[in-house]
A and B are shown apart, each in its own frame.
Chain A
Protein backbone atom coordinates (compact mmCIF):
# COMPACT_ATOMS: atom_id res chain seq x y z
CA UNK A 1 0.00 0.00 0.00
CA UNK A 2 1.34 3.36 -0.92
CA UNK A 3 0.65 6.37 1.21
CA UNK A 4 1.54 9.84 0.17
CA UNK A 5 2.69 11.94 3.07
CA UNK A 6 0.77 15.17 3.49
CA UNK A 7 3.37 17.86 2.89
CA UNK A 8 3.75 20.53 5.52
CA UNK A 9 2.62 23.51 3.51
CA UNK A 10 2.76 26.25 6.09
CA UNK A 11 4.39 27.11 9.38
CA UNK A 12 2.29 27.70 12.52
CA UNK A 13 0.67 31.13 12.82
CA UNK A 14 1.40 32.21 16.37
CA UNK A 15 0.42 35.56 17.83
CA UNK A 16 1.20 36.16 21.49
CA UNK A 17 0.33 32.93 23.24
CA UNK A 18 -2.20 31.80 20.63
CA UNK A 19 -1.84 29.65 17.56
CA UNK A 20 -4.28 30.07 14.69
CA UNK A 21 -4.90 28.03 11.55
CA UNK A 22 -6.25 30.82 9.38
CA UNK A 23 -4.08 33.79 8.46
CA UNK A 24 -7.16 35.80 7.55
CA UNK A 25 -8.86 37.82 10.27
CA UNK A 26 -12.13 39.55 9.51
CA UNK A 27 -14.26 42.39 10.81
CA UNK A 28 -17.98 42.36 11.50
CA UNK A 29 -18.93 45.87 10.40
CA UNK A 30 -20.90 47.26 7.47
CA UNK A 31 -22.82 44.12 6.49
CA UNK A 32 -26.27 44.57 5.00
CA UNK A 33 -27.61 42.05 7.51
CA UNK A 34 -26.40 39.95 10.41
CA UNK A 35 -27.22 36.79 8.47
CA UNK A 36 -24.94 37.88 5.66
CA UNK A 37 -22.20 38.71 8.15
CA UNK A 38 -22.38 35.25 9.71
CA UNK A 39 -22.32 33.53 6.32
CA UNK A 40 -19.41 35.63 5.07
CA UNK A 41 -17.34 35.01 8.19
CA UNK A 42 -18.00 31.31 7.88
CA UNK A 43 -16.91 31.35 4.23
CA UNK A 44 -13.75 33.30 5.08
CA UNK A 45 -12.50 30.53 7.35
CA UNK A 46 -11.38 33.19 9.82
CA UNK A 47 -11.01 32.33 13.49
CA UNK A 48 -10.28 35.84 14.70
CA UNK A 49 -13.20 38.24 14.36
CA UNK A 50 -13.06 41.90 15.29
CA UNK A 51 -15.80 43.82 17.07
CA UNK A 52 -16.21 47.41 18.21
CA UNK A 53 -17.24 48.77 21.62
CA UNK A 54 -20.19 51.15 21.59
CA UNK A 55 -22.96 52.42 23.82
CA UNK A 56 -26.01 50.21 23.87
CA UNK A 57 -28.75 51.97 21.91
CA UNK A 58 -31.33 52.01 24.68
CA UNK A 59 -34.12 52.73 22.24
CA UNK A 60 -33.61 49.40 20.46
CA UNK A 61 -31.24 47.27 22.44
CA UNK A 62 -32.32 43.89 21.13
CA UNK A 63 -30.78 43.70 17.70
CA UNK A 64 -27.72 45.95 17.77
CA UNK A 65 -25.31 43.77 19.74
CA UNK A 66 -23.13 41.51 17.64
CA UNK A 67 -22.98 38.81 20.33
CA UNK A 68 -26.58 37.87 19.58
CA UNK A 69 -25.37 36.59 16.23
CA UNK A 70 -21.79 35.33 16.63
CA UNK A 71 -20.92 31.95 18.11
CA UNK A 72 -18.34 33.04 20.66
CA UNK A 73 -17.30 29.46 21.37
CA UNK A 74 -16.15 29.21 17.78
CA UNK A 75 -14.62 32.62 17.07
CA UNK A 76 -11.88 34.46 18.90
CA UNK A 77 -13.25 37.94 19.57
CA UNK A 78 -10.78 40.74 18.98
CA UNK A 79 -12.18 44.04 20.25
CA UNK A 80 -10.98 47.19 18.57
CA UNK A 81 -10.71 50.78 19.74
CA UNK A 82 -11.98 52.20 16.46
CA UNK A 83 -13.24 55.74 16.74
CA UNK A 84 -10.76 56.69 19.49
CA UNK A 85 -8.73 59.82 18.83
CA UNK A 86 -6.63 59.92 22.00
CA UNK A 87 -4.54 57.38 23.88
CA UNK A 88 -6.74 57.87 26.96
CA UNK A 89 -9.91 57.07 25.01
CA UNK A 90 -8.35 54.00 23.44
CA UNK A 91 -7.20 52.74 26.84
CA UNK A 92 -10.70 53.30 28.23
CA UNK A 93 -12.30 51.35 25.38
CA UNK A 94 -9.77 48.54 25.70
CA UNK A 95 -10.51 48.22 29.40
CA UNK A 96 -14.25 48.12 28.71
CA UNK A 97 -13.68 45.43 26.10
CA UNK A 98 -11.64 43.31 28.47
CA UNK A 99 -14.35 43.64 31.12
CA UNK A 100 -16.71 41.91 28.70
CA UNK A 101 -14.89 38.82 29.87
CA UNK A 102 -13.70 37.14 26.68
CA UNK A 103 -9.97 37.83 26.54
CA UNK A 104 -7.30 40.45 27.11
CA UNK A 105 -6.62 41.10 23.44
CA UNK A 106 -7.20 44.40 21.71
CA UNK A 107 -6.81 45.70 18.20
CA UNK A 108 -5.55 49.09 19.18
CA UNK A 109 -6.45 52.06 17.05
CA UNK A 110 -5.67 55.66 17.90
CA UNK A 111 -6.84 57.67 14.96
CA UNK A 112 -5.21 60.99 14.18
CA UNK A 113 -7.43 62.49 11.53
CA UNK A 114 -11.06 62.05 10.61
CA UNK A 115 -10.63 62.35 6.87
CA UNK A 116 -7.74 59.92 6.33
CA UNK A 117 -8.30 57.76 9.43
CA UNK A 118 -4.52 57.51 9.59
CA UNK A 119 -3.11 56.59 13.00
CA UNK A 120 -1.82 59.04 15.58
CA UNK A 121 1.42 57.16 16.08
CA UNK A 122 2.48 59.08 19.21
CA UNK A 123 -0.84 58.33 20.89
CA UNK A 124 -0.66 54.76 19.65
CA UNK A 125 2.72 54.23 21.30
CA UNK A 126 1.52 55.74 24.58
CA UNK A 127 -1.58 53.55 24.64
CA UNK A 128 0.42 50.46 23.72
CA UNK A 129 2.77 50.99 26.65
CA UNK A 130 -0.09 51.50 29.11
CA UNK A 131 -2.08 48.50 27.92
CA UNK A 132 0.91 46.14 27.62
CA UNK A 133 1.81 47.00 31.22
CA UNK A 134 -1.75 46.05 32.23
CA UNK A 135 -1.36 42.65 30.61
CA UNK A 136 -3.22 43.36 27.39
CA UNK A 137 -2.20 41.58 24.20
CA UNK A 138 -1.96 44.59 21.95
CA UNK A 139 -2.24 44.32 18.18
CA UNK A 140 -1.44 47.81 17.02
CA UNK A 141 -2.97 49.29 13.88
CA UNK A 142 -0.37 51.59 12.39
CA UNK A 143 0.83 53.08 9.13
CA UNK A 144 3.55 51.50 7.02
CA UNK A 145 6.39 53.35 8.76
CA UNK A 146 9.25 51.11 9.87
CA UNK A 147 10.35 53.21 12.82
CA UNK A 148 6.87 53.34 14.33
CA UNK A 149 6.59 49.59 13.84
CA UNK A 150 9.89 49.04 15.66
CA UNK A 151 8.82 51.31 18.52
CA UNK A 152 5.51 49.48 18.82
CA UNK A 153 7.35 46.20 19.15
CA UNK A 154 9.57 47.73 21.82
CA UNK A 155 6.48 49.07 23.60
CA UNK A 156 5.16 45.55 24.00
CA UNK A 157 2.79 44.98 21.08
CA UNK A 158 2.26 41.27 20.35
CA UNK A 159 1.61 42.08 16.69
CA UNK A 160 2.06 45.13 14.51
CA UNK A 161 -0.62 45.86 11.95
CA UNK A 162 0.49 48.22 9.20
CA UNK A 163 -2.07 49.36 6.66
CA UNK A 164 -2.01 48.38 3.01
CA UNK A 165 -3.90 51.62 2.30
CA UNK A 166 -6.36 53.76 4.29
CA UNK A 167 -9.23 52.10 6.17
CA UNK A 168 -12.17 51.37 3.91
CA UNK A 169 -10.40 52.65 0.79
CA UNK A 170 -9.97 49.33 -1.01
CA UNK A 171 -6.90 50.75 -2.75
CA UNK A 172 -4.84 47.63 -2.14
CA UNK A 173 -1.18 47.43 -1.19
CA UNK A 174 0.26 50.84 -1.99
CA UNK A 175 3.79 50.30 -0.70
CA UNK A 176 5.00 46.70 -0.89
CA UNK A 177 8.55 47.80 -0.14
CA UNK A 178 7.56 49.39 3.18
CA UNK A 179 5.58 46.32 4.22
CA UNK A 180 8.47 43.99 3.30
CA UNK A 181 10.88 46.17 5.24
CA UNK A 182 8.69 46.09 8.34
CA UNK A 183 8.30 42.33 8.08
CA UNK A 184 12.03 41.88 7.62
CA UNK A 185 12.90 43.91 10.71
CA UNK A 186 10.27 42.88 13.26
CA UNK A 187 10.24 39.80 15.45
CA UNK A 188 6.54 39.95 16.32
CA UNK A 189 3.99 38.99 13.65
CA UNK A 190 3.15 41.58 11.01
CA UNK A 191 -0.51 41.49 10.05
CA UNK A 192 -1.60 43.90 7.35
CA UNK A 193 -4.79 45.66 8.35
CA UNK A 194 -6.93 47.87 6.12
CA UNK A 195 -7.07 48.70 2.45
CA UNK A 196 -7.37 45.26 0.85
CA UNK A 197 -10.06 45.66 -1.81
CA UNK A 198 -10.16 42.37 -3.69
CA UNK A 199 -8.59 38.94 -3.78
CA UNK A 200 -5.54 39.94 -5.83
CA UNK A 201 -4.74 42.62 -3.22
CA UNK A 202 -4.81 39.98 -0.51
CA UNK A 203 -2.63 37.62 -2.53
CA UNK A 204 -0.01 40.25 -3.35
CA UNK A 205 0.02 41.36 0.27
CA UNK A 206 0.65 37.84 1.54
CA UNK A 207 3.36 37.38 -1.11
CA UNK A 208 5.36 40.09 0.67
CA UNK A 209 5.88 37.59 3.48
CA UNK A 210 3.59 39.10 6.12
CA UNK A 211 2.03 36.79 8.67
CA UNK A 212 -1.61 37.58 8.03
CA UNK A 213 -4.25 40.04 6.91
CA UNK A 214 -7.18 41.63 8.69
CA UNK A 215 -9.96 42.98 6.53
CA UNK A 216 -13.55 44.09 6.81
CA UNK A 217 -14.85 46.36 4.04
CA UNK A 218 -13.19 44.33 1.27
CA UNK A 219 -15.63 41.55 2.11
CA UNK A 220 -18.58 43.41 3.58
CA UNK A 221 -18.85 45.94 0.74
CA UNK A 222 -18.40 43.41 -2.07
CA UNK A 223 -21.33 42.76 -4.36
CA UNK A 224 -21.55 39.24 -2.95
CA UNK A 225 -19.80 39.16 0.43
CA UNK A 226 -19.96 35.38 0.79
CA UNK A 227 -18.26 34.80 -2.56
CA UNK A 228 -15.69 37.49 -1.81
CA UNK A 229 -14.99 35.97 1.62
CA UNK A 230 -14.28 32.67 -0.11
CA UNK A 231 -12.05 34.41 -2.63
CA UNK A 232 -10.16 36.18 0.15
CA UNK A 233 -9.62 32.90 1.98
CA UNK A 234 -8.14 31.33 -1.13
CA UNK A 235 -6.10 34.43 -1.97
CA UNK A 236 -4.55 34.60 1.50
CA UNK A 237 -3.62 30.93 1.28
CA UNK A 238 -2.32 31.32 -2.28
CA UNK A 239 -0.22 34.35 -1.42
CA UNK A 240 1.17 32.67 1.66
CA UNK A 241 2.15 29.54 -0.24
CA UNK A 242 3.65 31.55 -3.08
CA UNK A 243 5.75 33.43 -0.54
CA UNK A 244 6.93 30.23 1.09
CA UNK A 245 7.58 28.62 -2.28
CA UNK A 246 9.70 31.54 -3.47
CA UNK A 247 9.00 33.10 -6.81
CA UNK A 248 11.22 32.68 -9.86
CA UNK A 249 13.60 35.52 -10.68
CA UNK A 250 12.22 38.27 -12.87
CA UNK A 251 13.96 38.59 -16.24
CA UNK A 252 13.52 41.31 -18.80
CA UNK A 253 14.15 38.85 -21.65
CA UNK A 254 12.29 35.76 -22.73
CA UNK A 255 13.72 32.35 -21.84
CA UNK A 256 12.28 29.36 -23.69
CA UNK A 257 10.58 26.68 -21.66
CA UNK A 258 11.01 24.00 -24.31
CA UNK A 259 14.34 22.48 -25.43
CA UNK A 260 16.23 24.37 -28.14
CA UNK A 261 17.70 21.14 -29.49
CA UNK A 262 15.88 18.39 -31.31
CA UNK A 263 14.18 20.61 -33.82
CA UNK A 264 13.50 19.15 -37.28
CA UNK A 265 16.03 19.94 -40.02
Chain B
Protein backbone atom coordinates (compact mmCIF):
# COMPACT_ATOMS: atom_id res chain seq x y z
CA UNK B 1 0.00 0.00 0.00
CA UNK B 2 1.15 3.55 -0.70
CA UNK B 3 2.66 5.59 2.09
CA UNK B 4 0.00 6.64 4.54
CA UNK B 5 0.12 10.04 6.15
CA UNK B 6 0.59 10.25 9.89
CA UNK B 7 -2.66 9.39 11.62
CA UNK B 8 -4.22 7.75 8.61
CA UNK B 9 -4.70 4.03 8.76
CA UNK B 10 -6.64 1.47 6.85
CA UNK B 11 -10.02 0.61 8.31
CA UNK B 12 -11.15 -3.01 8.19
CA UNK B 13 -14.77 -3.41 7.19
CA UNK B 14 -16.92 -6.13 5.67
CA UNK B 15 -18.67 -5.30 2.41
CA UNK B 16 -21.23 -7.74 1.04
CA UNK B 17 -19.73 -10.50 3.11
CA UNK B 18 -16.11 -9.93 2.10
CA UNK B 19 -13.46 -8.38 4.38
CA UNK B 20 -12.06 -5.22 2.82
CA UNK B 21 -9.75 -2.43 3.90
CA UNK B 22 -10.65 1.17 3.16
CA UNK B 23 -8.59 4.29 3.85
CA UNK B 24 -9.31 6.02 7.13
CA UNK B 25 -11.86 8.75 6.62
CA UNK B 26 -13.68 6.77 3.95
CA UNK B 27 -17.37 7.45 3.71
CA UNK B 28 -20.23 5.45 2.23
CA UNK B 29 -20.06 7.79 -0.77
CA UNK B 30 -16.35 7.22 -1.32
CA UNK B 31 -16.79 3.47 -0.91
CA UNK B 32 -19.49 3.41 -3.60
CA UNK B 33 -17.33 5.58 -5.85
CA UNK B 34 -14.37 3.23 -5.41
CA UNK B 35 -16.64 0.34 -6.41
CA UNK B 36 -17.91 2.29 -9.43
CA UNK B 37 -21.50 2.14 -8.14
CA UNK B 38 -24.19 4.74 -8.78
CA UNK B 39 -25.69 5.64 -5.38
CA UNK B 40 -29.11 6.09 -6.98
CA UNK B 41 -29.22 2.46 -8.09
CA UNK B 42 -28.30 0.80 -4.81
CA UNK B 43 -29.49 0.60 -1.23
CA UNK B 44 -26.95 0.55 1.56
CA UNK B 45 -27.35 -1.09 4.93
CA UNK B 46 -24.75 -0.32 7.60
CA UNK B 47 -24.66 -2.63 10.60
CA UNK B 48 -28.20 -3.79 9.78
CA UNK B 49 -29.48 -0.23 9.58
CA UNK B 50 -30.69 1.06 6.22
CA UNK B 51 -29.20 4.40 5.20
CA UNK B 52 -32.40 5.86 3.81
CA UNK B 53 -31.03 9.28 2.98
CA UNK B 54 -28.67 9.06 0.01
CA UNK B 55 -27.67 12.68 0.58
CA UNK B 56 -26.09 11.54 3.84
CA UNK B 57 -23.67 9.12 2.12
CA UNK B 58 -20.79 11.66 1.96
CA UNK B 59 -21.13 12.28 5.70
CA UNK B 60 -21.32 8.70 6.93
CA UNK B 61 -17.77 7.62 7.81
CA UNK B 62 -16.88 3.97 7.88
CA UNK B 63 -15.63 2.64 11.21
CA UNK B 64 -13.63 -0.46 12.02
CA UNK B 65 -15.69 -3.66 11.82
CA UNK B 66 -18.60 -1.97 10.08
CA UNK B 67 -20.71 -4.42 8.15
CA UNK B 68 -21.92 -2.90 4.91
CA UNK B 69 -24.48 -4.45 2.62
CA UNK B 70 -24.97 -2.96 -0.83
CA UNK B 71 -28.02 -4.32 -2.61
CA UNK B 72 -29.89 -3.62 -5.80
CA UNK B 73 -32.75 -5.00 -7.88
CA UNK B 74 -32.07 -8.04 -10.03
CA UNK B 75 -34.31 -10.13 -12.21
CA UNK B 76 -36.84 -12.15 -10.23
CA UNK B 77 -40.41 -13.34 -10.18
Contact = CB atoms under 8 A, between A and B. Distances in A.
Contacts, number: 96
Nearest to B54: A101
Interface stretch (A58-66, A222-230, A244-252): A58-66
Given A95-B50, A99-B50, A56 B37 contact: yes
Interface stretch (B5-13, B38-46, B57-65): B38-46
A222 to B, nearest CB: 14
B43 A51 contact: no
B75 to A, nearest CB: 4
Interface in B1-39: 15-18, 35-37
A58 B77 contact: no
Given A56-B70, A56-B71, A58-B18, A80 B45 contact: no
Interface stretch (A2-10, A29-37, A182-190, A202-210): A29-37
Given A58-B15, A80-B77, A100-B43, A53 B71 contact: yes
Interface in A88-131: 92, 95-97, 99-100
Given A58-B15, A58-B18, A95-B50, A27 B71 contact: no
A232 to B, nearest CB: 13
A65 B77 contact: no
A52 B76 contact: yes
Contact of B75 (A51, A79, A96, A194): A51
Contacts of A58: 15-16, 18, 35, 70
Given A55-B17, A99-B52, A61 B35 contact: yes
Contacts of A99: 43, 50-52
Contacts of A165: none
B63 to A, nearest CB: 20
Contacts of B74: 29, 51-54, 64-66
Contacts of A194: 77
Interface of A: 27-31, 37, 50-56, 58, 61-62, 64-68, 77, 79-80, 82, 92, 95-97, 99-100, 167, 194, 214-217
